Chain A
């Protein structure tokens, strides 16, 4: 008699594409045992394919369903999920696309990254935004040391290609017979809230500033790299815009004092 652990090891190997002979010797069924085992194998494979195809709709639109299935199968074999929350599984597709090098166009990795983030942030829940009065209440001398908490459903993405165009084309069903897709430095703010998402193009400096804030830097520390990429970066305007865009949830002075 095999131990429970041994039996499950054989079962797992059999349904994930490994040899099934040792397991088939352990099971009984009125039907054909290999055929019955095939039901479990099929479910295992198909359920992950379905999930990963749902997480990468634009990638699948571009590489085709067979290509997406191949990526899904490769990910499942190399990096099976480690937790029973499927929504959190599949980010590894991005690395798989990147690692295929010349097999795919270089921008496809960025498309995969965009897909992954849009799926995740669209189910986030925004908090009531902070009023700009909270900023005005701050001692101007203390401003560089203040930091802000941004909405949870924000991701900043930079690509050498206008990858947001591809998502728009897919969503609007307006794919032309032939697309002239050329490099164009693109700085994207992805924002999601309660089942919806938006993609806003920013300037390089604004993206750098907002990314810094999201990473938890103080206003002063987030502004410096923005000035580095654009000497004419207007910090005052940028600061007002993060409030008027409703991005700020709270503002903290140094030592984490919450001002709103």
Chain B
């Protein structure tokens, strides 16, 4: 394993291509940035700026293309490409999704849902081991946002994640907004999900905006668009998670209708304020 710098217990923001130059020009007060490595594989100009930024700020690498859930296994060529980038960046965290994105070698550009079965568990565990071996670093696996589940599932998502931690030693990225989205869409209780989440393995948290759509049936579905400010439901659940698990490096994700960097940093500041307020309240309760 490589020597990895400790991730700051603060809130960072997702760094998108349109903000690279702004970061270099203005050197904003930011605790850390997270990037999608896939955006830099065929963009030498962006990579050049990223390497400069990495000399100034802690960087986390969050892959959207390492498909640990694909039945055919991870794409070794892609893994090698992002591995080379990771080696140059020496990031504080490396993460990806509990999902699948490729089928028979074709890339589907989405994070598609998994059935939670013993077969899937064994398969994903083997893929995570392969990823961790290739990257030489612990991999943080993110809980997905889902719009449907599978009748074949024989365990809950939290049990599936806990088993993966047990079998591979991987860490978890708890996406708070995804918990709210999936809980709403699949009809379970978000706080109960958090109660069952293997909190000891959480190395990072995510917060992202979403949009609510009406369904023909009269109900609603939440779409994980990362195109809005963080919703109050997610802030409440974040406070609940911080109270339960403590503060973790937390990321503000915004991938569509991307606002100014200043707005993203304000959201990060809000996350830190929520965490601090929650922890202060918990300390007061203990003292009282």
Residues of A within 8 A of B (CB): 1-5, 7-9, 11-12, 15-16, 26-33, 35-37, 39-40, 43-44, 47-48, 80-89, 120, 122-125, 152, 193-195
CB <8 Å contact, B110 and A43: yes
Sampled A-B contacts (20; CB under 8 Å): A4-B115, A4-B117, A4-B123, A7-B150, A27-B148, A31-B215, A31-B219, A33-B148, A37-B147, A43-B110, A80-B106, A82-B106, A84-B107, A87-B39, A88-B41, A124-B44, A124-B45, A125-B44, A125-B48, A195-B45
CB <8 Å contact, B108 and A44: yes
CB <8 Å contact, B109 and A44: yes
Give chain A residues whose Cβ lies under 8 Å from the Cβ of B114. 4
List the B residue with the shortest CB-CB distance to A85: B41
Does B31 sit at the interface, judged by CB under 8 A?
no
List the A residue with the shortest CB-CB distance to B81: A85
Query: Cα distance A82–B104 when bound, in Å?
Result: 9
Which of B48, B108, B117 has a CB less than 8 Å from the CB of A12? B108
CB <8 Å contact, A35 and B70: no
Query: Cα distance A120–B150 when bound, in Å?
Result: 41
List the A residue with the shortest CB-CB distance to B102: A84
Give chain A residues whose Cβ lies under 8 Å from the Cβ of B5. none
Give chain A residues whose Cβ lies under 8 Å from the Cβ of B117. 1, 4
Within 8 A of A (CB), among B47-74: 48, 64-67, 70-72
Interface string of B131-150 (1 = CB under 8 A from A): 00000000000000001111
CB <8 Å contact, B70 and A27: no
List the A residue with the shortest CB-CB distance to B114: A4
Closest-CB distance, B128 to chain A (whole angstroms): 15
Does B232 sit at the interface, judged by CB under 8 A?
no
List the A residue with the shortest CB-CB distance to B151: A28
Query: Cα distance A246–B115 when bound, in Å?
Result: 56
Within 8 A of A (CB), among B210-263: 215-217, 219, 221, 223
Give chain B residues whose Cβ lies under 8 Å from the Cβ of A86. 38, 109
Name, among B44, B45, B46, the residue most crowded by chain A CB atoms within 10 Å (CB to CB).
B45
Does B179 sit at the interface, judged by CB under 8 A?
no
CB <8 Å contact, B109 and A48: yes
Give chain A residues whose Cβ lies under 8 Å from the Cβ of B39. 87
CB <8 Å contact, A4 and B71: yes
Query: Cα distance A129–B115 when bound, in Å?
Result: 55
Query: Cα distance A12–B100 when bound, in Å?
Result: 11
CB <8 Å contact, A35 and B78: no
- Kindly state the interface size class of chain B when it binds its partner: 35 or more
Which of B38, B66, B185 has a CB less than 8 Å from the CB of A31? B185
CB <8 Å contact, B46 and A123: yes
CB <8 Å contact, B151 and A26: yes
Which of B77, B78, B186 has a CB less than 8 Å from the CB of A30? B186
Closest-CB distance, A134 to chain B (whole angstroms): 24
Query: Cα distance A3–B150 when bound, in Å?
Result: 12
CB <8 Å contact, A35 and B215: yes
Which of A36, A82, A123 has a CB less than 8 Å from the CB of B107? A82
Does B42 sit at the interface, judged by CB under 8 A?
yes
Give chain A residues whose Cβ lies under 8 Å from the Cβ of B148. 27-29, 33, 36-37
CB <8 Å contact, B71 and A3: yes
Please name 20 further chain A to chain B contacts, defined as beta carbons within 8 Å, in addition to the given A39-B223, A44-B110, A83-B78, sorted by A numbering.
A3-B119, A5-B72, A7-B152, A12-B108, A27-B148, A27-B151, A28-B149, A28-B150, A29-B147, A37-B148, A39-B147, A40-B110, A48-B109, A80-B106, A80-B108, A81-B109, A83-B77, A84-B38, A84-B65, A125-B48
Which of B71, B81, B110, B219 has a CB less than 8 Å from the CB of A5? B71
Give chain B residues whose Cβ lies under 8 Å from the Cβ of A193. 45
**Smallest CB-CB A-B distances: 4 pairs:** A84-B65, A5-B71, A30-B187, A87-B42
CB <8 Å contact, A88 and B115: no
Query: Cα distance A7–B106 when bound, in Å?
Result: 16
CB <8 Å contact, A88 and B42: yes
Known contacts A4-B120, A36-B148, A40-B112; A84/B48 CB under 8 A: no
Closest-CB distance, B104 to chain A (whole angstroms): 8
Known contacts A87-B41, A195-B45; A8/B149 CB under 8 A: no
Which of A84, A89, A152 has a CB less than 8 Å from the CB of B75? A84
CB <8 Å contact, B106 and A123: no
Does B43 sit at the interface, judged by CB under 8 A?
yes
Closest-CB distance, A12 to chain B (whole angstroms): 4
Give chain B residues whose Cβ lies under 8 Å from the Cβ of A40. 110, 112, 147
Which of B77, B78, B150, B215 has a CB less than 8 Å from the CB of A27? B150
